[in-house]
Structure 1
Amino acid sequence: MLSNMLAEVVLKENPVVYDYYTRFRKLGMDRAANPDDTAPFEEMKKLAYDINPRDTLGVMKTFSIALNLVNAAEVHHRIRLVRVSELKDDVNHIGPLPMVEDSIRGTMEILLEGDCDDKDKLFERLTTQKCEIVLTAHPTEVNRKTIISKYRKISELLAYMERPDLHPFERAEAVNNLRGIISAIWGADEIRRVKPTVQKEAAGGCAVIESVLWDAVPSYLRKLDAQCRVTLGKKFPVDATPIKFASWIGGDRDGNPNCTPEVTLEVVTRQRLRAAKMFLNDLNMLYSELAISSRFSKELEALAASVKKSDDNREKYRRVIGHLRRRLVRTVKECEAKLHTLTDTSEVQLASAESAFGSLQGWEDVEPIIKSEELMTPLRIMYDSLVETGFELVADGHVSDIIRRVAVFGMTLVPLDIREESTRHTIAIDAITRHLGIGSYKEWDEEARLNWLQSELNNKRPLFRIRDIEDNLLGLDPDNRKTLMVFKVASELDSESLGAYVISQANTASDVLLVMLLQKQFGMTEKNGKLMRVVPLFETLTDLTNSPAQLERLFSITNYLGAINGKQEVMVGYSDSAKDAGRLAACWAQYTAQEAMANVADRYGVELTFFHGKGGTVGRGGNPALYRAILSHPPNTINGRFRVTEQGEMIRQNFGSLEIAERTLDIYTAALLRESFTKRVEPKQEWRDQMERVSEVSCAAYRHTVRDDPRFVPYFRQATPELELGRLNIGSRPAKRNPKGGVDSLRAIPWTFAWAQTRMHLSAWLGVGDGLRSDNEEDMKTLQEMYEQWPWFREIISLISMLVSKTDFSITKNYDDLLVDSNLRSLGDEVRNKLVETRQAVIDVSGATDISGPHVQLMRASSTIRNPYVDSINVVQAEILKVLRSMPEDDSPDLTPELRTIKNCRTDALLLSIKGIAQGMKNSG
Structure 2
Amino acid sequence: MAAHAQLRRQVRQLGETLGRTIAGAHGEAWLERVEALRHLGKAAREGDLSARQKMAETFRTHNDEDLLVLARAFAQFLNLANIAEQHHTVSPAGRAQQPYPNPLPDTLERLRTGGVTQAARQTAVNKLHMDMVLTAHPTEVTRRTLIHKYSELASELWHWDDGRDPEATRDADRRIEELVSQSWHTEEIRATRPTPVDEARWGFAVIENSLWDAVPRFLRDYESTLAEHELDLPLAARPVRFSSWMGGDRDGNPNVTAAVTEQVLLLARWKAAELFADTLHQLGSELSMADCTEEFRTLAGDGPEPYRALLKSLRNRLLQVKEAINRRLSGDRVALEDCLLSDDALLTPLQACHDSLCACGLDVIADGRLKDTLRRVHTFGTGLQRLDIRQHSEYHLNALGELTRYLGLGDYTHWTEEEKQAFLLRELASRRPLLPRQWSPSPETREVLDTCRTISRFPPESFGLYVISMASRPSDVLAVQLLLRECGVDWAMPVAPLFETLDDLNGATETIGALLNIDWYRGYIQGQQAVMIGYSDSAKDAGVLAANWAQYRAQEALVKLAQTHDLTLTLFHGRGGSIGRGGGPAHAAILSQPPGSVDGGLRVTEQGEMIRFKFGLPDLAVRSLQLYASALLEALLQPPPEPQPAWRDLMDRLADESCRHYRAVVRDDPDFVPFFRAATPEQELAKLPLGSRPTKRKKEGGVESLRAIPWIFAWSQNRLLLPSWLGAVEAIRTARDGQDAATLDEMSQDWPFFATRLAMLEMVFMKTDADLSRAYAERLVPAELQHLGQTLADRLLADAATLKALLSEDTLMRSDQWNRESILLREPYIEPLHWLQIELLARERQAEREQWPASRVQVIEKALMVTIAGIAAGMRNTG
TM range (shorter): over 0.9
Specify the SS of the correspondent of 2:409: coil
Aligned counterpart in structure 2 of residue 271 of structure 1, from 268, 272, 282: 268
CA distance in 2, matches of 1:698, 1:318: 66
Aligned counterpart in structure 1 of residue 777 of structure 2, from 816, 820, 839: 816
**Would you say the 8 A contact 2:404–2:411 is kept in 1?**
yes
Deviation at 1:679, TM superposition (A): 4.3
The one-letter code matched in structure 1 to 2:870 is: G
Specify the SS of the correspondent of 1:610: strand
Matched, 1:879 2:839: yes
Matched, 1:553 2:514: yes
Residue 300 of structure 2 is matched in structure 1 by 304
1:586-735 alignment runs, 5 A limit: 586-623=547-584, 625-735=585-695
Specify the SS of the correspondent of 1:501: strand
Matched, 1:14 2:14: no
Bigger mean CA deviation after superposition, 174-183 or 256-265: 174-183
TM-score by length of 1: 0.91
CA distance in 2, matches of 1:17, 1:879: 19
CA distance in 2, matches of 1:122, 1:129: 10
CA distance in 2, matches of 1:645, 1:554: 25
Deviation at 1:101, TM superposition (A): 6.7
Matched, 1:409 2:380: yes
Bigger mean CA deviation after superposition, 99-108 or 202-211: 99-108
The one-letter code matched in structure 1 to 2:140 is: E
**Would you say the 8 A contact 2:568–2:600 is kept in 1?**
no
Aligned counterpart in structure 2 of residue 578 of structure 1, from 539, 553, 560: 539
CA distance in 2, matches of 1:279, 1:661: 20
Residue 50 of structure 1 is matched in structure 2 by 61
1:407-556 alignment runs, 5 A limit: 407-465=378-436, 468=437, 473-526=438-491, 531-556=492-517
Deviation at 1:145, TM superposition (A): 0.2
Matched, 1:255 2:252: yes
Specify the SS of the correspondent of 1:778: coil
Aligned counterpart in structure 1 of residue 752 of structure 2, from 761, 780, 791: 791
Matched, 1:241 2:253: no
CA distance in 1, matches of 2:152, 2:307: 37
Residue 10 of structure 2 is matched in structure 1 by none
Distance 1:428 1:837, change over 3 A: same
Q: Summarize deviations over 1:848-871 as a string: whole Å, max 9, x none.
A: 22233533x234422332111111
CA distance in 2, matches of 1:443, 1:409: 44
Specify the SS of the correspondent of 1:854: coil
CA distance in 1, matches of 2:818, 2:100: 17
Matched, 1:383 2:354: yes
CA distance in 2, matches of 1:646, 1:82: 27
CA distance in 1, matches of 2:339, 2:704: 49
The one-letter code matched in structure 2 to 1:292 is: M
The one-letter code matched in structure 2 to 1:436 is: L
Deviation at 1:437, TM superposition (A): 0.7
Q: Summarize deviations over 1:539-597 as a string: whole Å, max 9, x none.
A: 00010011111111111111111111011000000111101100100000000111111
The one-letter code matched in structure 1 to 2:38 is: R
Residue 112 of structure 1 is matched in structure 2 by 112
Deviation at 1:781, TM superposition (A): 1.7
Deviation at 1:270, TM superposition (A): 0.4
CA distance in 2, matches of 1:84, 1:213: 20
Aligned counterpart in structure 2 of residue 40 of structure 1, from 36, 48, 51: 51
Aligned counterpart in structure 2 of residue 178 of structure 1, from 166, 169, 176: 176
Matched, 1:159 2:158: yes
**Would you say the 8 A contact 2:695–2:710 is kept in 1?**
yes
Specify the SS of the correspondent of 2:562: helix
Distance 1:656 1:922, change over 3 A: same
CA distance in 2, matches of 1:342, 1:725: 40
Specify the SS of the correspondent of 2:132: strand
Residue 316 of structure 2 is matched in structure 1 by 326
CA distance in 2, matches of 1:165, 1:341: 56
Distance 1:861 1:367, change over 3 A: closer
Residue 222 of structure 1 is matched in structure 2 by 220
Gaps of 5+ in 2: 1-12
CA distance in 2, matches of 1:212, 1:284: 20
Matched, 1:756 2:753: no
Residue 779 of structure 1 is matched in structure 2 by 740
CA RMSD of aligned residues (A): 2.0
Bigger mean CA deviation after superposition, 828-837 or 239-248: 828-837
CA distance in 2, matches of 1:858, 1:105: 21
Distance 1:750 1:919, change over 3 A: same
Deviation at 1:532, TM superposition (A): 1.2
Aligned counterpart in structure 2 of residue 372 of structure 1, from 328, 343, 366: 343
**Would you say the 8 A contact 2:95–2:101 is kept in 1?**
no
CA distance in 1, matches of 2:220, 2:455: 35
Residue 910 of structure 1 is matched in structure 2 by 864
The one-letter code matched in structure 1 to 2:308 is: R
Q: Summarize deviations over 1:652-688 as a string: whole Å, max 9, x none.
A: 0001111111001111111111111104211110100
The one-letter code matched in structure 1 to 2:757 is: I
TM-score by length of 2: 0.96
1:56-67 alignment runs, 5 A limit: 56-67=67-78
Deviation at 1:840, TM superposition (A): 2.7
Bigger mean CA deviation after superposition, 242-251 or 126-135: 126-135
Residue 288 of structure 1 is matched in structure 2 by 285
CA distance in 2, matches of 1:124, 1:593: 26
CA distance in 2, matches of 1:873, 1:585: 33
CA distance in 2, matches of 1:374, 1:382: 13
CA distance in 1, matches of 2:844, 2:554: 46
Distance 1:478 1:835, change over 3 A: same
The one-letter code matched in structure 1 to 2:387 is: L
Specify the SS of the correspondent of 2:352: helix
Deviation at 1:843, TM superposition (A): 2.2
The one-letter code matched in structure 2 to 1:877 is: Q
The one-letter code matched in structure 2 to 1:417 is: D
Gaps of 5+ in 1: 87-97, 306-311, 346-363
**Would you say the 8 A contact 1:266–1:342 is kept in 2?**
no
**Would you say the 8 A contact 2:593–2:640 is kept in 1?**
no
Bigger mean CA deviation after superposition, 21-30 or 698-707: 21-30
The one-letter code matched in structure 2 to 1:559 is: W
The one-letter code matched in structure 2 to 1:429 is: L
CA distance in 2, matches of 1:119, 1:195: 53
CA distance in 2, matches of 1:99, 1:608: 31
Deviation at 1:191, TM superposition (A): 1.1
Distance 1:83 1:760, change over 3 A: closer
CA distance in 1, matches of 2:691, 2:92: 34
CA distance in 2, matches of 1:81, 1:805: 27
Specify the SS of the correspondent of 1:911: helix
Q: Determine what percentage of the aligned residue pairs are the same residue.
A: 39
Matched, 1:900 2:854: yes
Residue 208 of structure 1 is matched in structure 2 by 206
Distance 1:158 1:375, change over 3 A: same
**Would you say the 8 A contact 2:159–2:168 is kept in 1?**
no
Specify the SS of the correspondent of 2:861: helix
Distance 1:476 1:747, change over 3 A: same
Deviation at 1:923, TM superposition (A): 2.5
Residue 231 of structure 1 is matched in structure 2 by 229
CA distance in 2, matches of 1:844, 1:539: 33
Specify the SS of the correspondent of 2:236: coil
Specify the SS of the correspondent of 2:739: helix
Residue 83 of structure 2 is matched in structure 1 by 72
